[in-house]
Amino acid sequence: MDDEVFRALADPNRRQLLDMLNARNGQTLRELCVGLEMARQSVSKHLAVLEAANLVTTVWRGREKLHHLNAEPINAIADRWINRYDRRRVELFADLKTALEAETMSDNDFVYTTYIKTTPERLWQALTDPKFTEQYWHVQHETDWKVGSEMVWHLGDVAMAGPGQVVLEHDPYTRLSFTWHHITPEFAKAVEMDDDLYQKTSHEPLSKATFELEPVDDQVKLTVIHTGFEPGSAIRAMIEDGWTRLISDLKSFAETSPELVAG
């Protein structure tokens, strides 16, 4: 995968497309073609290369196909190679990583894609079985996973529940979606959230977290989509690094845990 990423980044037209998405994320092909001295077909081909390298993730919203930057390949390259380079090259990678993770999405959505060497069954179990979520996420979900059912989050002795905190979609091995939880005083205390941040986050509306699973050869393509944030959302700022770390921990767990079913 590293080779694909380097090849994708080597072309100036593709770097320009990444710059455009960095400036305004979640654009359609038509929007990306505006102002470019390239035919629509050429833009489409460049986007296909970026998507194949996992630098761009696409999400359908109605009839529109939206293109989002995906920082995961840059994170992986940094983790694997960054310590082998001198300081100047380290700074170059750091600048690129920062650019791809920048908070620039016009619709404020968080979209992140990674590939996990496991089966959809094993990954689904890791996402939905509370005895496994406790191991890498440090939380447990209490629900029957029926659409519309209440979802209670447990963080140690703290329980988080409230109106509208429910399961939205449950399509085994393919798609899982639920409303992102209420910020309660107990939760704020458990994570050492200061009073000002608690007051701000506790008044924000519930958002929506979605997991999409797609088998690809001997791996599963996992896309995490978190939507529904207000402009200037404090929770949106909090989840940026949180999801990146959590997905990395989930990947390690799903690829190595002997407890998960063989699938």
pLDDT, one tens digit per residue, over 91-131 is 554 555 555 544 444 458 899 999 999 999 999 999 999 99
Query: In which band, very low, low, confident or very high, does the pLDDT at 80 lie, cut at 50, 70 and 90?
Result: low
In 3D space, the residue among 90, 76, 173 whose CA is nearest the CA of residue 124 turns out to be 173
DSSP one-letter code for 24: S
141 with 46, same domain?
A: no
261 in Cβ contact with 125 (< 8 Å): yes
What residue numbers bound the domain in which 28 lies?
2-107
Do 49 and 15 share a structural domain? Answer: yes
CA torsion sign for 243, 25, 74, 225 is positive
Structural domain includes residue 231:
yes
* For range 46-53, the mean pLDDT: 91
Examine residue 43 and state whether it is found in any structural domain, yes or no: yes
Same domain, 94 and 115: no
